[in-house]
A and B are shown apart, each in its own frame.
Chain A
C-alpha cells in the first residue's frame, strides 16, 4: 500500500524555527495535510495543500511541497512551548477519500 514517512522526534529551542519533514509514495496524491495533536486531545487540522501548489503560508506556518521528490515539509517560525505536540502528515490520492497518515513527529520545544 501507499506509505507516508516521518521522523519520530524533533527537538528545538524556543524562538527557533522548526521544520518537520514528510515523504510519501503515492504519485497521484492530490491533497496533503498537516494535523496537530496536543497531549490528551484529538487531531486538529492545521493546514493542507493541494498538489498543484508549491507553497502555502498561514501566519507562522509555511508548507512546502516538492511533488517531484514527493516531499512535504511544515515550517513553524518562532517556535513556542505551546507548539509542543505530535504533528501528523497525511496524504490523499485522487481516487480515494481515505487519507494515509504518517506515524507522527513529536515536536519538543525547550527553553
Chain B
C-alpha cells in the first residue's frame, strides 16, 4: 500500500551496529505498529503506538526500541544488531472507527545481520 512507506527496503549490516528502520504514512491513522516476519513463524508484534504519546511493547520487544516522532512517523531501532534479528520487518497503521480497526501494511524492510 503506497500510503504506508518504509525505508530502507533492504539493509545488510554487521553484528553490533545500530540500525534504524523508518515508517511513514499518509493515511492519517493514529495507530502504528512494527512486526517482524520469519519463515514459518508468521507475524510477531514488536511494538505498537496508539497515538504520538503512547508506546507499548509487543510480544518480542527485547533488543528493539521505537520512537513515534509524529502522527505520521514511527521508527524502529536495533541498538546493537545480532544475526537472529535477520528478518522481514513490516510497519502497519490502523484507525479505530467504532468497533472496527483494520490494519494496513507497508511493503516491508528486509534486514540481514551478518
Q: What is the interface of chain A, defined by CB distance below 8 A to chain B?
A: 1, 8, 30-31, 33, 35, 40-45, 48, 88, 92, 94, 97-99, 101-104
Contacts and interface: CB of A to CB of B under 8 A. Distances in A.
Contact of B106 (A42, A97, A102): A42
A88 B31 contact: no
A92 B108 CA distance: 22
Interface string B83-114: 00000001010101001111111111000000
A92 B69 CA distance: 27
B105 A98 contact: no
A103 B41 contact: yes
A48 B90 contact: no
A42 B42 contact: no
12 contacts: A31-B99, A31-B100, A33-B102, A35-B105, A42-B1, A42-B90, A42-B106, A43-B90, A44-B1, A97-B101, A98-B45, A104-B42
A106 to B, nearest CB: 10
Contacts of B50: 97
A42 B107 contact: yes
B45 A42 contact: no
A15 to B, nearest CB: 29
Interface of B: 1, 4, 31, 33, 40-43, 45, 48, 50, 58-59, 90, 92, 94, 96, 99-108
A97 B90 contact: no
A8 B40 contact: yes
Nearest to B41: A103
Contact of B108 (A1, A42, A102): A42
Nearest to A41: B107
Contacts of B100: 31
A45 B90 CA distance: 14
List the 4 closest A-B pairs by CB distance, nearest first.
Answer: A103-B42, A42-B105, A43-B105, A101-B43
Contacts of B4: 42
